[in-house]
Amino acid sequence: MLGPSQPVVLHLLDIPPAEKALAGVRMELIDAAFPLLAGIVTSVDAAEASKGVDYAIMVGGFPRKAGMERKDVMSKNVAIYQSQAAALEAHASKDVKILVVANPANTNALILSQNAPSIPKKNITCLTRLDHNRAQGQISEKISKVKDDGTSIFAVSSKDVRNVIIWGNHSSTQVPDATHATVTVDGKAMPAKEAVNDDAWLEKEFVETVQQRGAAVIAARGASSALSAASAAVDHMRDWALGTEDKDAFVSMGVFSDGSSGYKEAPEGVVFSFPVKCSGDGEWEVVKGLSMSEETSRKVAASGAELVEERELALECLKG
């Protein structure tokens, strides 16, 4: 995640009922003999786990269960992220970089930001790289070739698909956008639209598949995305810490919207997924001036409106 030669000390936090299992995880990490693992701290105390951390990946949250209203779920997560914010504010490195994975990721990140005022807002992000990677994967799979024996192989890898965008909320209102994407086929870069050669698919099935992929994974395996989410978290942190691989490429990150992006569809004061470039020194900047179709603009604005609704619900829960 932080490069091929960067030793790390892992600080692992879990809730008290999982303390015994956490000890088992520690045993396995030691037994795996990872060459870059320089130490392990395990704790059920957020303050202890937060001491001196430079990077924090927040995967803990309260999932929505049958019969629960949105406000019930939000109340649970507000309490969790108030507590996490207090611990990070008091004990983490002053330049800590935070990635929120647990859903509702955008609003959980906002809650954390509002309750940790000394941590710069630019240092608190949420995971939409999973959706970005899903979009790359869908385009790669679409351009697959069928061999004579009937098996399908990818004609291009996901790495050959660049500059897809995820706009807005990490929810079903997110807007996957391939307008500015390119695909490198046989060494030649071309617009994704040309490589896919199926406008109807790009406009409908591609968008809906990426939006609903999380639910599809749950339906297929009986549990939410784990491998793909972990891989996306690694991608997000690596690019943030070390820089995006290509100066012409951008990735999707949920970052604080301060009104300076130039995209009227993005409300101010929420954590919103934009196309960003990372410079390699822990900094990111929104890629500005990209065009949107009228339909895309409408959908992005709707996702922004949902984030405002979530923010207001979270603030109501905070007051409560």
pLDDT digits (tens, 9 = 90+) for 39-65: 999 999 999 999 999 999 999 888 767
Q: Please tell me if the domain spanning 8-126 has the same topology as the one spanning 129-315.
A: no
SS (H, E, C) 62-107: CCCCCCCCHHHHHHHHHHHHHHHHHHHHHHCCCCCEEEECCCCHHH
Catalytic residue selected from 11, 132, 170, 236: 170
Class at the top of the CATH hierarchy for domain 129-315: alpha beta
DSSP secondary structure, 109-166, as one string: HHHHHHT-TTS-GGGEEE--HHHHHHHHHHHHHHT-EE-TTS-EE-SS-GGGEE--EE
How far is residue 179's CA from residue 139's CA, in Å, rounded to a whole number? 12
Query: Closest by alpha carbon to 57, among 222, 199, 235?
Result: 235
Q: Tokens standing for 37?
A: 């693992």
With a CB cutoff of 8 Å and minimum separation 6, the contacts of 230 are none
Q: Give the per-residue pLDDT at 319.
A: 82
Q: Give the per-residue pLDDT at 148.
A: 65
The radius of gyration of the chain's CA atoms, rounded to the nearest angstrom, is: 20
* Annotation marks residue 170 as catalytic: yes
Q: Give the per-residue pLDDT at 152.
A: 67
Torsion of CA 25, 28, 34, 36, to 10 degrees: 30
Query: Closest by alpha carbon to 124, among 286, 312, 256?
Result: 256
- The fourth-level CATH superfamily of domain 8-126 is NAD(P)-binding Rossmann-like Domain (3.40.50.720)
Q: Where are the domains of the chain?
A: 8-126, 129-315
Distance of CA 275 to the CA centre of its chain: 12
Residues with pLDDT less than 50, the chain: none
Query: Closest by alpha carbon to 258, among 270, 241, 248?
Result: 270
